[in-house]
Amino acid sequence: MSRSYPLAMSGRVLRALIYMNWIAGLLIFALLVGSLLAEAQVMGALGARPADGNAQRILGMRQIMVLGILSVPLAHIVLSRLLAIVGTVSGGDPFVAENAGKLRTIAWSVLGLELLHVAVGVVAAIASSESAPLDINWSFSLTRWLAVLLLFVLASVFEHGARLREDLEGTV
């Protein structure tokens, strides 16, 4: 197996994920619109029949849909920048200043996604009641927050490496 096969496969997977991300966003948007136009049917299908005590939970579900829609452009930024980095790796020149910037942008986007994730947990907690719980199986993950830090560190490493490389090329 050639060394470029995993990179080519990564590129195909990332392109597919970009496409699926936009489709998911459109589907969430359609669900939100459907929940406004045909509340009884859509919310009933989601297990939240419009009834006394469910108004707060239904509002919370709609707020979570909006947060899901807001996550789509952030996920697109992550996936498209990663695809661009894969392109430079397959081109044989990954340690360039542009990739440091792309990694930093990915880090900020992942941070934004994590903040949206926290917001989803807050909305679910506020929208829940004993009679009408909004159980989304939300949990905090230290691993994802560490990944954000790792991305910022990696961006700095790439930036420093690119500077050293430019300095070295300047002395030759």
Neighbouring C-beta atoms of residue 52, cutoff 10 Å: 7
- 77: three-class secondary structure by DSSP: helix
Residue-by-residue pLDDT tens, the chain, 172 positions: 455 778 789 999 999 999 999 999 999 999 999 999 998 899 888 887 776 668 888 899 999 999 999 999 999 999 999 999 998 887 777 778 899 999 999 999 999 999 999 999 999 999 988 877 888 889 999 999 999 999 999 999 988 888 887 777 767 5
CB 45 within 8 A of CB 61: no
Burial of 59 (C-beta count, 10 Å sphere; 0-12/13-18/19+):
middle
Q: Long-range contacts of range 40-46, CB-CB < 8 Å, 24 or more positions apart?
A: none
Neighbouring C-beta atoms of residue 41, cutoff 10 Å: 13
Instruction: Quote the pTM value.
Output: 0.87
